[in-house]
Amino acid sequence: MQRRLSWLFIGIALAVILMLFISSSQTYEQQSMTSSLDRLLANKPFEKQLSAVSFHYAGSEISIQAKGYSSFIEFFIRKGAHFFSYALMGFSLFMGFGAFIKRKWLVMVFSAGIPLAYAAFDEFHQLLTGGRTPLVEDVMLDFAGALFGILLAYFLAKWLIKKDKGSGT
């Protein structure tokens, strides 16, 4: 049962990798959500509060003033998708490798190394895709997401082991 569940987690990680590959094969125009956001958020909720937010990412100013309301919102959706996709990948790899690799430090190395290597490959892939810009900052964001997922998996695994020992099974 344990190994079957581990294969499921590895399958989830592979599905995330496939989804990311397909996504980075599309141009920005194919992925753009701004027209949908323009319609969905026509009344621009929280615009006043969000107008106070301004920072730089990869050398560009990120603010409503610089990007416009919908593009500003889209930035957070896109970067959130980066972070949580890689979090799911890191989580799944950690949970999947745990049944096959007995040394936890090695599980950590593979669970972090694969997303880091894939994030770098994915940005290179975007270089070859029209209308896309590869960013080192995105690799760092992706890796941070993977580490977040790995930490969640680590603490969940510790909790499950402690729970199993406490129940006497």
pLDDT at 169 over 60: no
0.85 exceeded by pTM: yes
Q: What is the mean pLDDT of residues 60-82?
A: 96
Answer whether 56's CB lies under 8 Å from 62's CB.
yes
- Phi–psi pair at 168, nearest 5 degrees: 80, 15
Q: Taking the domains of the chain in order of start, what are their residue ranges?
A: 2-29+80-167
DSSP output for 42-62? TT-TTHHHHTT-EEEETTEEE
CA dihedral 108, 110, 112, 116 (to 10 degrees): 170
User: What is the C-alpha to C-alpha distance for residues 133 and 143, in angstroms, rounded to an integer?
Assistant: 18
Answer whether 86's CB lies under 8 Å from 119's CB.
yes
User: What pLDDT digit, counting tens, does each position of 96-115 carry?
Assistant: 998 889 898 999 999 999 99
